[in-house]
Amino acid sequence: MNSIFNPEKIKFTEKITVFIKKDILLVIALTLAIVSSFFSMPKLEYIDFKVLVLLFNLMLIVAAFKRLKVLDCFATSLLSKCTSHRSICFTLIFLTFFSSMIVTNDVALITFVPLTLVIGKKIKINPFKIIIFQTIAANLGSSLTPMGNPQNLFIYSFFKVSPLEFFKITIPLVVLSTLFLIAIIFKSKNKPYSFTVETIKISNLKEFAIYLILLLIILLSVFHVIDYKITFIFTISTVFFLNKKLFKLVDYSLLLTFICFFIFIGNISSMDYIKNIMETILSSSKSTYFSSIIVSQGISNVPATMLISGFTPYYKELLLGVNIGGLGTLIASLASVISYKLYIKEYPESSKYFLKSFTLYNLCGLLILVPLIYFINKI
């Protein structure tokens, strides 16, 4: 009887539960990889090491920028000039929108949502709407560039899309997204506000300059100007000498999740029965576009991308579908979960209202963007 209530066993169980809750996507990906490996032999060639290396490089630079408070510096300097509700909205939402194009939607939200919560307390408002709009901005703004979010980087590498072709696909979506964000900002009431915000300075300008140059080199490797292997060696060498602690800040669970999905997709792609079914479902540009939007609602757009990519040649429709598909449900983009968790930590009593409003605005975005992008691109 005593062994049943062993404190060590209880602690171990609690740790497992916390791990599952924290990295549910990794747990699902790992399970799928293991189960599918019983039916098909996994191969090393299934893993796209280029995507993993590019992600790793970008994560290191983003970690450096966070430590140096680069984004916080720009944000506080702009917010100090704001004198109304609308100007605050514009600043916070479009800071998130444009920064997500470089540092990814996740990092943009992790950086700017806490700042929004602080500003909300200063001007004595519940900032749930601003945070919802920031989340939409991060998910749509990140769609512009290959490095804006993981699904873009995967599609860009997997289908060997040229930089010019990539931007031809994403620019119309981002233009429409900008207009949509401006419209919902102007729809909100405008009030004058007076507040002070602590000015944050970049902690080490010399290091910032080095990391900025390193970011440019990494971007050149993303756009095929420099070999990604050379950039990888140069990046880890530079970070090792400047600040080894940055290696601890890399999201290794995301990299491992990608590896597991690579194995799972590779395994099921080699099963003729499943392959034939999936290729039949995704046999047209139209079905790829709508399937990627629908599947994203249930499993989020990153795994949806990796699942669909192995069975369709229509990368343009997949790229558009999974980025628009980041709108909708809370889990359609895992970046949205970040905003939700940060908000309910400060306002736990408003969680249901936040979800209701979040879903309403996201559905509005879907209803507007899905048909417009469909007809503009003649899918």
- Residue 234: the pLDDT is 94
- Residue 198: the pLDDT is 79
- Collect all residues with Cβ–Cβ distance below 8 Å to 126 and sequence separation of at least 6: 120, 347, 350
Q: Which of 196, 212, 200, 182 is nearest to 94 (CA)?
A: 182
Q: Which of 378, 374, 376, 364 is nearest to 183 (CA)?
A: 364
Judged by DSSP in three states, 144 sits in coil
- Residue 7: the pLDDT is 62
- Residue 16: the pLDDT is 64
List Cα–Cα distances, 227 to 48, 149, 152, in angstroms. Answer: 15, 21, 19
Judged by DSSP in three states, 192 sits in strand
- Residue 11: the pLDDT is 63
List Cα–Cα distances, 248 to 15, 25, 54, 244, 292, in angstroms. Answer: 20, 20, 17, 8, 34
Q: Which of 174, 153, 73, 58 is nearest to 107 (CA)?
A: 58
CB atoms near residue 44 (< 10 Å): 9
**Tokens 């930089």, residue?**
163
CA 112, CA 118: separation in Å to the nearest integer?
A: 10
- Residue 168: the pLDDT is 96
The structure tokens listed for 2 are 């005593």
- Residue 1: the pLDDT is 47
- Residue 255: the pLDDT is 92
**Tokens 């981002």, residue?**
174
pLDDT one digit per residue (tens) for the chain, 379 residues: 455 556 665 565 666 666 566 677 788 889 999 999 998 888 988 898 999 999 999 999 999 998 998 988 888 888 888 888 899 999 999 999 999 999 899 999 999 999 999 999 888 889 999 999 999 999 999 999 999 999 999 999 999 999 999 999 999 999 999 999 999 998 888 888 777 777 788 888 999 999 999 999 999 999 989 999 999 999 999 999 999 999 999 989 989 988 998 999 889 888 888 888 888 999 999 999 999 999 999 989 998 998 899 899 999 999 999 999 999 999 999 899 999 999 999 999 999 999 999 999 999 999 999 999 999 987 6
Residue 192 bridge partners (DSSP)? 84
The verdict on pTM exceeding 0.75 is yes
CA 215, CA 223: separation in Å to the nearest integer?
A: 12
